[in-house]
Amino acid sequence: MSANINANSFDTGADDLERFALEECVKRHRVDQRVSVLILPDKRCEMAIKFARLGAQVIVAEQAELKSEIEGRILAAGLRDEIIFATCTLPALPDELPGEPYDIIVIRRGLCSVPYEDARQLVRQMLLKLKIGGKIYVSVLGLHSELSEGYAASEAGIDERFSLLAPALADKYGIHEPVCLYTERNLFMLLLEAGASVLRTQTTTYGNVKGIAVRV
């Protein structure tokens, strides 16, 4: 991804968004139709492995330099036939990815690594890679969270909100590139403006923002 956002410690455990996505995979699973899932990013392959063990065909889209590490994790999990690596550097998606169109797309924190307008275009691209009725699960870093302390763009409108975190928080969470922090309304409007039908949004205890939308 264009920014190596690593804020896994900012939310703990398998959050609601992940649970909803996995439940959707179970509901869609059919004997004669394999569920197809795109995840970006997923450096540790944790989500990809969970989906694959539910019988899904999973594509992990990540930076080219992570290919060996990710494929090693796939082999170690014994899921070489179920999980495929694809090179992707945000904010653009490749014209074609293996296995599309998808039933489910999960993007966690990747949208924060690009300005809002680029994120909107990216969501539009992702929607086109979904089947009609397919769902996108989005997680973004929140403006109403610890990350906003000392964040230079905290008072800026969403179209201009793209800045570095305060140095202490950048070190704490390993986020050293500019990011766009979202309110729940910002994420709702992003999905809506991109052409999705928004099913739900929520703000976590830690101030991160989650959303689920469907291609109609």
Highest mean pLDDT range out of 11-20, 43-52, 118-127? 118-127
Is 182 a residue whose pLDDT tops 80?
A: yes
177 occurs within a structural domain: yes
78 occurs within a structural domain: no
How many domains, the chain?
Answer: 1
User: Region 181-195: what's the mean pLDDT?
Assistant: 97
From the list 28, 24, 62, 22, the residue with the least C-alpha distance to 45 is 62
> Residue 132 has which token pair?
């009609």
Vertex 23 angle, CA 122 and 101, to 5°: 40
* CA distance linking residue 182 with residue 170, whole number of Å: 17
Q: Answer for the pair 44, 69: CB distance below 8 angstroms, yes or no.
A: no
Q: Answer for the pair 70, 45: CB distance below 8 angstroms, yes or no.
A: yes
pLDDT of residue 125: 94
168 occurs within a structural domain: yes
Domain span holding position 216: 109-216
* CA distance linking residue 94 with residue 61, whole number of Å: 10
92 occurs within a structural domain: no
pLDDT of residue 2: 38
Kindly report the CATH number assigned to the domain that includes residue 174.
Answer: 3.40.50.150
Vertex 205 angle, CA 179 and 187, to 5°: 45
44 occurs within a structural domain: no
User: Region 65-82: what's the mean pLDDT?
Assistant: 88
pLDDT of residue 23: 92
46 occurs within a structural domain: no
49 occurs within a structural domain: no
pLDDT, averaged across the chain: 88
pLDDT exceeding 90 applies to what percent of the chain? Answer: 67
* pLDDT category of residue 169 using cuts at 50, 70 and 90: very high
What is the secondary structure of 161-180 as a DSSP string? --BPPPHHHHHHHT--S-B-
Is 58 a residue whose pLDDT tops 50?
A: yes
pLDDT of residue 3: 38
175 occurs within a structural domain: yes
**pTM for this model (two decimals):** 0.89
